[in-house]
Chains A and B, each alone.
Chain A
Amino acid sequence: DAGVIQSPRHEVTEMGQEVTLRCKPISGHNSLFWYRQTMMRGLELLIYFNNNVPIDDSGMPEDRFSAKMPNASFSTLKIQPSEPRDSAVYFCASSFGRGAFFGQGTRLTVV
């Protein structure tokens, strides 16, 4: 199994630009999570899906953030417009009970 696959691994963009992060969960997992890791706030849950349906998006910081899961094998996290304070490592994780399996993360830098 290839594990959770995220792309890109690194993204550098200018303030105001749209950024799209992509995730392919582990096949057969019914839950998908987007986390963000920063020095100030640690690992925080942004949103999670169960069976492709968004269940809890209370962690999404602002309306500039949106996430979709059009099918069981793909999800996106979009930031539009991006701001320097969005710079962080964004992790996607999938789960089928027990613990979650994380991708390698996307390091986003907004300049």
Chain B
Amino acid sequence: DQQVKQNSPSLSVQEGRISILNCDYTNSMFDYFLWYKKYPAEGPTFLISISSIKDKNEDGRFTVFLNKSAKHLSLHIVPSQPGDSAVYFCAASPSQHTNAGKSTFGDGTTLTVKP
């Protein structure tokens, strides 16, 4: 059973528009959530995170929203840029304080931002 699901394998967006990447989870023990970005031939890069005590966290063009009741989170990128084209992984962890690196990852969504 997959505890973290990213149901959209790919997403294509025009430059300057908003990109919305979605993620669902099933394990109620998860209380810290992260987004990573991965370029080909590189390791994932930490992008942004959110604790379960919040419903929104913003960092520049990136905003993560958390809906605990729906067990759903999303990453918004606005405005999208061609350099944002990458694979985005959603990850979930039981606690920020017990090593957020010990995360369960989704399968990733490939974002393509067209110029």
Contacts and interface: CB of A to CB of B under 8 A. Distances in A.
Interface string A38-82: 000011110010100001100000000000000000000000000
B36 interface: yes
Contacts, number: 62
A28 interface: no
A97 B100 contact: yes
A99 B107 contact: no
Interface stretch (B10-18, B22-30, B40-48, B70-78): B40-48
Main SS class of interface, A: strand
Contacts of B96: 97-98
Contact of B101 (A42, A95, A104, A105): A95
Interface in A3-33: 4, 31, 33
Interface residues on B, range: 20 to 34
Interface residues on A, range: 20 to 34
A98 B99 CA distance: 8
B58 to A, nearest CB: 16
A42 B106 contact: yes
A31 B98 CA distance: 10
B88 interface: no
Given A98-B46, A98-B49, A31 B41 contact: no
A43 B45 contact: no
24 contacts: A31-B101, A31-B102, A33-B101, A42-B106, A42-B107, A43-B44, A43-B105, A45-B104, A48-B101, A55-B99, A56-B102, A99-B36, A99-B46, A99-B47, A99-B49, A100-B46, A100-B100, A100-B101, A101-B46, A102-B36, A102-B43, A102-B45, A103-B43, A104-B43
Interface of A: 4, 31, 33, 42-45, 48, 50, 55-56, 91, 93-95, 97-105
Given A98-B46, A99-B47, A100-B101, 17 more contacts: A4-B43, A31-B99, A31-B101, A31-B102, A43-B105, A48-B102, A93-B43, A95-B99, A95-B100, A97-B96, A99-B36, A99-B100, A100-B46, A102-B44, A104-B41, A104-B43, A105-B42
